[in-house]
Amino acid sequence: MSDITKQSLSELVENIKCKKLSSSEVTKAFVERSEKSKELNAYITEDYANALNKAKKFDEKPNLDLKLPGIPMAVKDLFCTRDLRTTAGSKILNNFVPTYESTVTQNIWNEGAILMGKLNCDEFAMGSSNETSFFGNVQNPIDKNLVPGGSSGGSSSAVAAQLTPITIGTDTGGSIRQPASFTGTVGLKPTYGSCSRYGIVAFASSLDQAGPMAQNVKDCTLLQEVISTYDEKDSTSIDFKRNEYSKELTKDIKGKKIGIPKEYRVDGMPKEIEDLWKKGIEYAKDCGAEIIDISLPHTNYALPAYYIVAPAEASSNLARYDGVKYGFRAEGENLIDMYEKTRSEGFGAEVQRRIMIGTYVLSSGYYDAYYLKAQKVRKLIKNDFDEAYKKVDAILTPSTPSSAFKIGEKTNDPVSMYLNDIFTVPVNLAGLPGISIPAGHDAKGYPLGLQIIGKAFDEQNILNIAYAMEEKINFKNNITDWWVK
Amino acid sequence: MSKNKSEYLINRHDNQYEVVIGLEVHAQVTSESKLFSTSATKFGAEPNTQVSLVDAAFPGMLPVINEYCVKQAIKTGIGLKAKINKRSVFDRKNYFYADLPQGYQISQFKDPIVGEGKVILDMPDGQKEVGIERLHLEQDAGKSIHDLDPKNTFVDLNRSGVALMEIVSKPDLRSPDEVNAYIKKLRSIMRYLGTCDGNMQEGSLRADVNVSVRKKGSKDFGTRCEIKNVNSIKFMQMAIEYEANRQVDLIEDGQTIDQETRLFDTKKNETRSMRSKEDAHDYRYFPDPDLLPLEVSDDFIENLKSEIPELPDEKKKRFIEKFKLSPYEANILVSDIETSNYFENVIKKSDVKLATNWIIGELFAALNEKNLEITESPISAGNLSKLINLIKDGTISGKIAKTVFEQMMEGDKDPKKIVEEKGLKQESDPKALEALIVKVIDDNRDKATEYKSGKVKLFGFFVGQVMKVSGGKANPQLVNEILKKKL
C-alpha cells in the first residue's frame, strides 16, 4: 500500500486492525520518511532500529484490541523514556538516560504504540519558536524559513510533515496550541490534572500539561482518550470520570453556546486574524451553535502574571540540574564554582533569563509585589472564566496573534516572543482545556488556527465543537515535501 | 516571674541577667518510609541504598505525601495539646547544597499542620508551662561526608526525604535545666505516642537553640543568636551557658549583640559565628506546586485522638490518685513509657508500695550500674512481681530478697526457684525458732543474765545471734516475739 505516511491515525489503526497493513510496514514507512527528513531537525534522538524490532515483534503476535495497535510514534523530548536519552532540549541533560517511563508515554505503549524517537523542543519547553533548543532550531514544513512554533516545535513539525502519524507535546503557556496553529495541525491542551505529569521534565508545575497533537480532530481525540488517566504518582492528577472521548465524539453541536470574548481583540492584531475569527464565528453558527458576546475583563493581565508564575516555578524546578547527580557537569575549583560553571555552560540564554526572573520575583522583599500579586491575578482570571461559563459552553478565540514568523525574527526581542502566547496563556492560568484547530491561511499562505476553550474536564465538548467546525472549515495544508531527500 | 532559689541568673558587677531560650527541635518521624517517597528509613544502612528516584530528584519525579507521616504529626500535635490545622500547605525552601538533590527542601512555612500548644515541665520548685509555637512537617536533607577524601565530598542520600517534625517552642525557657527538662518531656511524649524514637545519637532528635539575655525584670527581649544543630542535651546546656555568658560580657563591655547563626564547638566548649544576618539565605519560600494544600477532616483528627495513649501528665495524675504515689515517685515512673509499662506490669500482681520502692531503688540502681535501659532489664516484670510477693507473704525477708534480687540480675530466674534451690526460705515455724532461740540463750547465759538485770540493749545482740545461727532465714518478727518471751 502506497502513501502510508499520508494516512491519518484513524486510517492506520483501521488498516492494521483489518490486517491490510502490518505494524512493520507502517513503522518502516514512517522511519524511512523520518530518515529522509533530517533537514527539518525535528528529532533529537532517533530510535528507528528498536522501533522496527518492536514492530516486528508486534506483528508476530498482534493484539488488535488495543487502541494504538503497532502504531509508530515519536514524542516530545520532555517525556522521560526508559533506556532512551531524554534531553528536554538542553545541554545539561545531553547525556541523560532515564531508567523510568513517564505515565503518559507508558499509557501510549500500553495501547500498543511503538516509540520511534524523541522530538526537538525549546530548552525545558521555554520558548515559542523552538529556537532555544540546544539541538538547533526546527524548520516548519510549511516553509523552510519559518519557525514551527514552540515549545513543542519538533512535534508540530513532525506531525505536519508526516514523520509520525501523531504525537504528544506539553503545554505550559501555549506550547501545544501555538505550534499546532503555526503548522496547520490540531493540538489539545487538556484540563490541568487530566494527564499525569509523572516523568515529564518539569517547567512550571502548576501550568504544565501534556496533550495530543494530530492532523485532525478525530486522531487527537483518540490519543487524548489514551493518555488521560488518573495517576497516584502525581498529586495534582485529578480522579474524575473520563469519557471514552472517541466513542462519544459527535459533530452535533446544535444549540451549544459559544462565547466571543471582546478582550481578545488586542491592539495591533493583524486584520487577517480578525477576519479568521469572524469566519470561525460563521462556521460555528453554520454548525448550529449560538454565538454570545462575553467579557473576560482581566485578560490583559494574564501575560504578565504568567511571566511571573512560570519563571518562579521554573527557577525552583531547575535547581536540581546542578551537576551533582546526573547530566552535564563542568569541573570547578569547589562546589560553588562547579555549580556556576555547570549551570552557565549547561543552560542556554532563555533558560538562564527565566531562572533569573523567577529567582527575582520570589526574593524576599519582592515576593508580595510580584509572585503573590500574580497569584491573585491568576485567581481573577479563573473567576472571569467561571463567570463566562455561566452563560456559555465554550469560548472561541484565535490561537495566536499572527501566523508563523521567520526563524531569527524574534530571537533578540523576548517580549515580542512572549506576546505570541497572549491568547493561550490565560487558559493555562485557569487550568482549562483548549484546542487549536487549523482554520485558514493568511495572505502568505501560512496556516492560522482557532482556539476553542472549554470548561474544566469538558474536553468532550470542545473536541465535539472542533470536530464539527473542522468539517465546515475543510482545511488543507499546503505542504510540498521540499525538505525530503 | 518566679522568685525561687532555682532561678538561673548571670551576675556581672551589679547587674543580674536573665537568659531567654527558645528551641527548634527536629524530630524524625517514626515511619517505615519517607515523607514523599516509598524508600526505607532504617538507620545505619549502607550509603545510598535507601534512595528512590524522587529522593534523588530525577527529572520528572514528583512527591506524594505519606499519609502515615501526616498522622504521626497530628498525633504529636494532639500530645502537645496543640491546635491541629485542618488545612496546611507545603512550601519549597530553596537553596543549593550537594546533599539537597532537589535544590529545595519541602517544608511548611506559612501554614503548618500544627499550631499553638504547650508542654508542662516538672521542675524541682513546681510546674512550668512552655508554649509551643508550631509544629510542621519537612524533609530531611542528605548527608555530606567531607573527611573520607582530601579533595572530594561524598554524599549519602539515605536520609534525603526522611520526614521530620520541626517543633518550635516559644521563648519561654529560662535556664539550661529547663531546657533539659523540656527536651526530656518532649521526647517522653513522642515516645509515648510512638511518633519519634527520640534517639539523639542516631540524629532522630536534634535542636537549634535560640539564646538571648536581658537584664532581670526587663520586658523586652535581647538580640538572639541561633546555635545550630546541637545533638545532645549536655552540649545544649553547655552551649547555652557559654553563649549567655558571651552575650552578657558583650553587653557589660558596652557592645551590641549581632543577630547571627552560631556553631557550638564541643571540643573547645564555645560557640562561634557561622553566618551573620546579612549573610542569611534568602530561601525564596513559595507553595510547592507539585503538592495540593493538605486538608484533613474532623473525622480524621477524631480518629487519631482515639488512638492516643495515656500520656505522661495524665498517667502521673492517675498514679498519684490511684496508687497513692508521691509526685516524685510518679514523675520517675512515668518519665518514659517503658518504665511505666514495667511498673504497671509489676503491680498487676503485687503490692504497689513495695513495687515502687524496689523499682525506683534496687532496680534502677542495678540497671544504672550495668548501663542498661529498662527494656533490657535482666529481671522481667513478672519475676520482680513474684519476688515482691515472696517478701509480702513472709516467705523471705527484705534482706534475703536483696540476695535473691542480685541473683536474678544475673539472669531472669524465677525467685521462687532461687529461694528453694538455695534454701533461703524464711524460717517462720515458731517451734523451730523457739528451739533455735533456746539454744542461743543457753550458749549466752551470762548475757541473758545481764539482760534480765536491766541491760535491755542486749536484746539486739540476741536478735543478731539468732539471725546468724539461722543463716539469715529466721523470720525477724517472730524472732522478736519469741525472744521477748524466752528472755
Q: Which residue of A has its CA nearest to B65?
A: A235
Which of the following is catalytic: A28, A54, A67, A76?
A: A76
What is the distance in angstroms between the Cα of A264 and the nearest Cα belonging to chain B?
28
Separation CA B404–CA B425 (nearest Å): 11
Q: pLDDT-derived band of residue B59, with 50, 70 and 90 as boundaries?
A: very high
Q: What is the pLDDT of residue B477?
A: 80
Q: What is the pLDDT of residue A1?
A: 46
* pLDDT tens digits along A354-392: 999 999 999 999 999 999 999 999 999 999 999 999 999
Q: What is the pLDDT of residue B6?
A: 67
Q: Is A391 a catalytic residue?
A: no
Q: What is the pLDDT of residue B5?
A: 57
Q: pLDDT-derived band of residue B469, with 50, 70 and 90 as boundaries?
A: confident
pLDDT at residue B317 above 50? yes
Q: Is A472 a catalytic residue?
A: no
Q: pLDDT-derived band of residue A2, with 50, 70 and 90 as boundaries?
A: low
Cβ within 8 Å, pair B60-A359: no
Strands of A326-407, DSSP E: 394-398
Assess contact for B147 and B126: CB atoms under 8 A.
no
Q: Which of A102, A236, A325 sits opposite B60 (nearest CB)?
A: A102
Q: pLDDT-derived band of residue B4, with 50, 70 and 90 as boundaries?
A: low
| A75: enclosing H helix or E strand | strand A72-76
Separation CA A173–CA A181 (nearest Å): 14
Q: Which residue of B has its CA nearest to A103?
A: B60
Enclosing domain of residue A19: 4-263+269-296+383-473
Q: Residues A210, A215, A218, CA angle at the centre, nearest 5°?
A: 80
Assess contact for B339 and B378: CB atoms under 8 A.
no
Q: pLDDT-derived band of residue A188, with 50, 70 and 90 as boundaries?
A: very high
Separation CA B21–CA A372 (nearest Å): 34
- Polymer length of chain A: 485
Q: What is the pLDDT of residue B463?
A: 86
Greatest C-alpha distance within chain B? 102
In this structure, what are the phi and psi dihedrals at residue A59, rounded to the nearest 5 degrees? Answer: -65, -30
Cβ within 8 Å, pair A233-B62: yes
pLDDT at residue A301 above 50? yes
**String of b and e for B204-224 (b: at least 16 CB within 10 Å)?**
bbbbbbbbbbbeeeeeeebbb
Mutant choice from A235, A338, A364, A372 vs B, greatest count of B C-beta within 10 A: A235
CA-CA-CA-CA torsion sign (A238, A242, A246, A250): negative
Q: What is the pLDDT of residue B3?
A: 47
How many helices (H) and strands (E) are present in chain B, helices listed first?
A: 16, 16
Which chain A residues contact residue B38 at CB under 8 A? Answer: none
Q: Is A151 a catalytic residue?
A: yes
* pLDDT tens digits along B64-107: 999 999 999 999 999 999 999 999 999 999 999 999 999 999 99
Which has the higher per-residue pLDDT, B89 or A3? B89
Q: pLDDT-derived band of residue B2, with 50, 70 and 90 as boundaries?
A: very low
Contacts of B259 (CB under 8 A, 6+ apart): B223, B224, B225, B276, B277
Radius of gyration, alpha carbons of chain A? 21
What is the distance in angstroms between the Cα of A256 and the nearest Cα belonging to chain B?
33
Does the residue A469 lie in any domain? Answer: yes
The proportion of chain A whose per-residue pLDDT surpasses 90, expressed as a percent, equals: 96
Q: pLDDT-derived band of residue B439, with 50, 70 and 90 as boundaries?
A: confident
Does the residue A225 lie in any domain? Answer: yes
Does the residue A334 lie in any domain? Answer: no
Does the residue A285 lie in any domain? Answer: yes
* pLDDT tens digits along B237-270: 999 999 999 999 999 999 999 999 999 998 999 9
Cβ within 8 Å, pair A320-B57: yes
Distance from chain centroid for Cα A140: 15
Question: What is the grid cell recorded at A200?
Answer: 515529564
Provide residues of B within 8 Å CB-CB of chain A. 53, 56-65, 92, 94, 96-98, 101-104, 153, 155, 282, 284-286, 289-292
Domains within chain B, CATH numbers bracketed: 16-304 (no CATH), 310-421 (no CATH), 430-486 (1.10.10.410)
Q: Flag the least confident range among A79-83, A328-332, B151-155.
A: B151-155
* pLDDT tens digits along B358-387: 999 999 999 999 999 999 999 999 999 999
Q: pLDDT averaged over chain B?
A: 92
Which has the higher per-residue pLDDT, B434 or A275? A275
Question: What is the grid cell recorded at A230?
Answer: 488518573
pLDDT at residue A136 above 50? yes
Question: What is the grid cell recorded at A462?
Answer: 470542545
CATH number for position A141: 3.90.1300.10
Does the residue A367 lie in any domain? Answer: no
Q: Which of A201, A313, A326 sits opposite B60 (nearest CB)?
A: A201
- Provide the number of structural domains found in chain A: 1
pLDDT at residue B20 above 90? yes
Does the residue A369 lie in any domain? Answer: no
Q: How many CB atoms lie within 10 A of CB B123?
A: 14
CA distances from A213 to A176, A427, A431, B343, B456 (A): 7, 17, 19, 71, 113
Provide residues of A within 8 Å CB-CB of chain B. 79-80, 86, 88, 93, 96, 98-100, 102, 197-202, 204-206, 232-236, 312-313, 315-316, 318-320, 322, 324-326, 335, 339, 359, 362-364, 367, 371
Assess contact for A366 and A381: CB atoms under 8 A.
no
Beta bridge partners of B121: B128
Does the residue A85 lie in any domain? Answer: yes
Separation CA B266–CA B47 (nearest Å): 26
Q: What is the pLDDT of residue B236?
A: 94
Q: Which of A102, A320, A362 sits opposite B286 (nearest CB)?
A: A362
The proportion of chain A whose per-residue pLDDT surpasses 70, expressed as a percent, equals: 100
Which chain B residues contact residue A99 at CB under 8 A? Answer: 53
Does the residue A122 lie in any domain? Answer: yes
pLDDT at residue A202 above 70? yes
- Which residue's C-alpha cell is 555552560? A345
Contacts of B9 (CB under 8 A, 6+ apart): B16, B17, B18, B216
* Mean pLDDT confidence for B129-134: 98
Which chain B residues contact residue A205 at CB under 8 A? Answer: 289-290
Q: pLDDT-derived band of residue B1, with 50, 70 and 90 as boundaries?
A: very low
